[in-house]
Chains A and B, each alone.
Chain A
Amino acid sequence: MKNRIRELRETRQMSQEELAGKLGVSRQTVNAIENDKYDPMLPLAFKIARVFGKTVEEVFTPDKRR
């Protein structure tokens, strides 16, 4: 799955640490999701979308290569 988390976070001048704090996860988890190394489960995906005021589909898109 591809995502726009880094772009959305940087637009809001938010650090990975700050985003991790809002989501209740570690900075390593935010980093892994941003780098497409880990796809979050649905509750976390909804939480991420809510933080940025977007829908899940606006933040995450299917990766056609997989």
Chain B
Amino acid sequence: MDTTRISPVGRRGLAAAVLFVATFFAARMILSIEGADMPLRILAALIPVAPFAWLLTAIVARLKAMDELEQRIQLEALGIAFPVTMVILMTLGLLELAVPLPPEDLSYRHVWALLPMLYFIGLALARSRYR
């Protein structure tokens, strides 16, 4: 990959994203070890928060650097992703009250992935409106 074409903010975001993914999977690995000490388990669970906070600063800096149309596109993407995720979460919550749901398939631990997925769908839809 030619990293010279990526802006400093983009490079910061990429580094933070790589670090976050690495610490996330390291945390998952540590948490899967049977008999690991409780302080180590808590530390492993919390470590990915730091690179994620760093990633967040890069995302905010990138948003501020965008022109007004790109900012509007981002807003529309979130405007689609956020309410749709809320409706899915609410529906799952109500269904859970109505019938027992299989925790491994429909657990809230898996539902977090919906938001970024719907954000990218929203981004594609919003971009197509202004093409």
A contact residues vs B (CB 8 Å cutoff): 24-26, 28-29, 31-32, 37-38, 40-41, 44
Contact = CB atoms under 8 A, between A and B. Distances in A.
A38 B70 contact: no
15 contacts: A24-B67, A25-B67, A25-B68, A26-B69, A26-B70, A28-B69, A28-B70, A28-B131, A29-B67, A29-B69, A32-B131, A37-B130, A38-B69, A40-B68, A41-B68
Interface residues of B, number: 8
Contacts of A40: 68
Contacts, number: 28
A22 B41 CA distance: 54
A21 to B, nearest CB: 12
A40 B72 CA distance: 11
A27 to B, nearest CB: 10
Interface of B: 67-70, 72, 129-131
Contacts of A25: 67-69
A41 B67 CA distance: 11
B70 A29 contact: yes
A29 B130 CA distance: 8
- Choose among B70, B129, B130 the residue with the greatest number of A CB atoms under 10 Å from its CB: B130
A29 B129 contact: no
Nearest to A40: B68
Nearest to B67: A25
Nearest to A33: B69
Given A25-B67, A38-B130, 14 more contacts: A25-B69, A28-B69, A28-B70, A28-B130, A29-B69, A29-B70, A31-B131, A32-B130, A32-B131, A37-B130, A38-B69, A38-B72, A40-B68, A44-B68
